Amino acid sequence: MVEVKVKTSERIALIDITADVNRVVAESGKREGLCNLFVPHTTASIVISENWDPDVPSDMLRQLERIVPREAGYRHAEGNSQAHILSAMLSTSINVPIHEGKLAIGRWQGVMLAEFDGPRQRSVYVTVVAG
């Protein structure tokens, strides 16, 4: 397992970490297999989304905030219930196939850290398994 650290600068954001993850995959020396990504946080997630058009992540974040508003009478004392709910909805782990030494994702896809309670220092654990 390799830990990738990501410093977020906004309260809510999607940060493209595809290059960092592909670097870890390449350094593993494994040409075929599976890459597991896990975020050990209760207010962040890991997703695959379009990473070419910056309007897609902003549209996604805007819609997520409509679905789960920041203020909705939550009882959690820390005031970040929205972040906990969004993290649970989007998940804290994904598996991505590896082909020819890199992530086997689509042309317009990227691996994104979803920050819902920033700014913070986040970790993404990357585990590469040969197939």
pLDDT in tens, 19-61: 999 999 999 999 999 999 999 999 999 999 999 998 999 999 9
Q: What is the mean pLDDT of residues 4-16?
A: 98
**Residue 31 DSSP symbol:** S
Tell me: pLDDT of 67 over 90. yes
Instruction: Kindly give the interhelix angle for 81-90 and 55-67, rounded to the nearest 10 degrees.
Output: 120
- Digit-coded pLDDT (tens) for 69-78: 888 889 988 8
pLDDT at 71: 87
pLDDT at 131: 87
User: Both tokens of residue 91?
Assistant: 């998940």
Q: What is the mean pLDDT of residues 74-89?
A: 93
pLDDT at 70: 86
Give the domains, in start order, of the chain with CATH numbers: 2-130 (2.60.120.460)
Considering only CA atoms, which of 41, 1, 39 is closest in space to residue 17? 39
- Compute the distance between CA of residue 8 and CA of residue 116 in angstroms, rounded to an integer: 10
Per the DSSP assignment, residues forming a β-bridge with 14 are: 114
Tell me: pLDDT of 109 over 90. yes
User: Both tokens of residue 69?
Assistant: 């508003």
Tell me: pLDDT of 15 over 90. yes
pLDDT at 11: 97
